[in-house]
Amino acid sequence: MITLSFSGIIVLFVSLPLLMTAFLAAYYSVRSLHRPLRSQDSIYECAHCGHVYAIARSRPMDRCPRCGTLNDAVRS
Ligand SMILES: [Zn+2]
């Protein structure tokens, strides 16, 4: 039979949840690397010429690449 001392039981109860948390953190950090970059784009629709464009930076307003008019982000 395996005998564990009191300090061995304490180490086991502390280290097992810690290891599980570390494995979950590693799993979710690897999974987040595969997230498509397009989800971070902001989408704009030009009020002057109607051109729809997406820019990777998150700004509340950005210039239209066709006519240069400042437009609000439709979705950011
Ligand atoms: Zn425009």
Structural domain including 31 reads 1-35
User: Quick check: 46 and 54 in contact, CB under 8 A?
Assistant: no
Residues 31 and 41 in one domain: no
Q: From the CA of 55, how far away is ligand 1's center (Å)?
A: 14
Q: From the CA of 50, how far away is ligand 1's center (Å)?
A: 6
Q: From the CA of 72, how far away is ligand 1's center (Å)?
A: 12
CA nearest to 47, candidates 66, 75, 22: 66
Residues 68 and 53 in one domain: yes
Q: From the CA of 43, how far away is ligand 1's center (Å)?
A: 13
Residues 76 and 71: their CA atoms lie apart, in Å, by 13
Q: Considering the entire predicted model, what is its pTM?
A: 0.47
Q: pLDDT, tens digit, for every residue of 7-59?
A: 999 999 999 999 999 999 999 888 887 766 566 788 999 999 999 999 887 78
Residues 12 and 23 in one domain: yes
Q: From the CA of 6, how far away is ligand 1's center (Å)?
A: 72
Residues 27 and 50 in one domain: no
